[in-house]
Amino acid sequence: MLKAYKYRMYPTKEQEEKFFQHFGACRFIYNWALEQKIKSYEQDGKSISRFDLNKGITILKRDGEHEWLKDVNSQSLQGATLNLDNAFTRFFREKRSFPKFKSKKNPVQAYNVPQNYKVDFENNKIYLPKIGNVKTILHRHYGDGDLKTATVSRTSTGKYYISILVDNGLETPKKSEFSENDTVGIDVGIKDFAITSNGNKIDNPKHLRNSMKRLKVLSKRLSRKQKGSKNRKKARQKIAKIHEKISNQRHDFQHKVSTKLISENQAVVLETLNVSGMLKNHNLAQHISDASWSSFVTKLEYKAEWYGKTILRIGQFEPSTKICNVCGYHNKNITLADRKWQCHDCGTSHDRDVNAAVNIKKFALNTQNLIGI
């Protein structure tokens, strides 16, 4: 089973320069390889393979104009072509967007180290090819697993991290059996972050909204700075630090909630949402982005794989909000403003979100033929 372990790095100034050299070289190779693929398809109607691109890297190094590529770890350069190959695979198989050229203006930079790096837990150092020993806070051990690809990254605030992919040799746990009693339905929202089928409501912390006033002040100051000046760079860094804090708060909150839900239940039921479509509503787009439902669902999915739990889904067009979970009456007149409503047939009073969570669970269990167990 593969797991990633992320550590903070503290490189020297010389090592930072080498990191920037690696970032730039891998970005150059990625853009060069993408250009070669596009030209090959336009001229010959065929796609050039990754192995041919790797041979082309060797030819580039012999060229006097690109001799600087010799100062960069060769396997990291080949990792850039692998990333491009994976991007095209996602484009064709998962219908993702067509691969785009990378820009050096992107505040987040990264490159891969496939092998030949060494981790020293005793001295808190990691040896990287062409870089040397970099001071790293190794706060947790990954055990006796096999080291796979490591990814070195730099955030927009100038912090360096390394993420090490480790194969611990363990097989993915088999899915545990589940029943109606140990299954929970979850309805995500804006007012409340998540509502469970057993009536629990998890408050939405709204990290972005809480920092919006400060962000507006700093953004106004940034707009007044002269372009290209050092003061403008400092102002941009202040904004980046706030966004990084918001991101850390959001991930911390979602990790705690997702771990609790996975540990307390054998199966979790979710509703498939068209988040990209919902973001087109400009009245709710900022609140939806702040909630970051997609990130939360991703955490639930991989933690369920780790612990042998099951994730069930229902279709996005299922009327979970408008159906009475007691008698099945369909209330067609309910609107987004109606937070509570009463069933016309059985007279049951419903909280809109709790009723939706109960129906999400029922729809999924009905599909699994588990209702009544």
Residues with active-site annotation: 187, 271, 353
Q: Is 194 left (phi over 0), alpha (psi -120 to 50) or beta?
A: beta
CA 190, CA 175: separation in Å to the nearest integer? 31
Backbone angles phi, psi at 190, to 5 degrees: -105, -50
User: Could you give the C-alpha distances from 259 to 4, 49, 241, 252, in angstroms and in order?
Assistant: 17, 41, 27, 11
Residue for token pair 């990287």: 128
Tokens of 137: 């806070």
- What 3-state class would DSSP assign to 91? helix
Tokens of 243: 């966004």
CA 340, CA 207: separation in Å to the nearest integer? 27
CA 252, CA 264: separation in Å to the nearest integer? 19
